[in-house]
Amino acid sequence: MSQFWLYFKVGLTHVLDIHAYDHVLFLIALMVPYAFKDWKRVFLLVSLFTLGHTLSLLLSVFGIVSVRASLVEFLIPITILVTAVFHLFTAGKSSKNESVTFVAGITLFFGIIHGLGFSNYFNSILPGKTSDKLLPLLEFALGIETAQIIVVFVVLVLAYIVQTFFRFSKRDWALVMSAFIIGVVVPMIIGSEIWNR
């Protein structure tokens, strides 16, 4: 049981680490247009994101897929930027009119990219035989998922407070948050190590 908490906590803190906020930024960008009443769509998107990064985590850890860490670290802020720009331009439009297939497909693909980022970290903390990695990997993934649920819940609560008590419209909330995320992520892309190669 102590091993479970060890890897669960590593997954949890890896997402919630203040110095490694890219995953949190993506979740914020993804959740910007939604509220608690959109819980079915939120659940679908978070589940697809989870499916994507768990799949890529498994494939990478078991040596089926290998991607340069610098490329993954470059692609992660790109996924955040694309998501934020998409919501910047669709702010105020009804999420019911949004193509579920398009958003779902993009979310799944971005989950795969983020999972590759997790796999590089996971492989660095758990050397050893591949056969010994499955259970710790699932424990690590469960910690990640729990952290994601926490982040999504906090974003939805914050959206509710801002829109209810501060009278922000849903459109204004989406515009401000998307613009803020773009402002944070562009320097990450410019400062990426990939430009030095």
Q: What number of other Cβ atoms are within 10 A of residue 195's Cβ?
A: 10
Show the domain range for 99.
Answer: 2-196
In the chain, the number of structural domains is 1
Span 134-182, pLDDT tens digits:
888 888 889 988 999 999 999 999 999 999 999 999 999 999 999 999 9
Query: In the prediction, which pLDDT does 98 show?
Result: 58
Burial 63-85 (b: 16+ CB within 10 A, else e): eebeeeeeebbbbbbebbbebbb
The average pLDDT across 58-82 equals 89
The band of 183, judged by pLDDT with boundaries at 50, 70 and 90, is very high
Task: Examine the pLDDT at 127 and tell me if it is beyond 70.
Answer: no
- pTM to 2 decimals? 0.89
The residue among 142, 115, 138, 114 whose CA lies nearest residue 126 is: 138
Indicate the angle between helix axes 100-125 and 69-89, nearest 10 degrees. 150
